[in-house]
């Protein structure tokens, strides 16, 4: 994963994949539960071929 400021993080594990909506960002697609830097995060892959992640505090 590459952040907007250029920092890069490695996905160390994909724990789950399911169809879901983002409650914060409003998008719908495949939700991947991943481990990055020791923390569990959600990555979303939308039907329009775009990836996104919910912002903290959004």
The pLDDT score that the predictor gives to residue 56 is 67
| pLDDT one digit per residue (tens) for the chain, 58 residues | 888 899 999 999 999 999 987 766 666 789 999 999 999 999 989 878 888 887 665 4
Break the chain into its structural domains and give their ranges: 11-53
Residues 29/47, Cβ–Cβ less than 8 Å: yes
The pLDDT score that the predictor gives to residue 22 is 73
The pLDDT score that the predictor gives to residue 26 is 67
The pLDDT score that the predictor gives to residue 58 is 47
Residue 10, both tokens: 């490695």
Distance CA 29, CA 20 (A): 6
């Amino acid at each position: 994963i590459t952040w907007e400021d250029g920092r890069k993080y490695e996905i160390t594990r994909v724990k789950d994949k399911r169809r879901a909506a983002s409650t914060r960002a409003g998008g719908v697609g495949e939700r991947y539960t991943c481990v990055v830097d020791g923390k569990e995060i959600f990555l979303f892959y939308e039907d329009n071929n775009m990836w996104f992640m919910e912002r903290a505090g959004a």
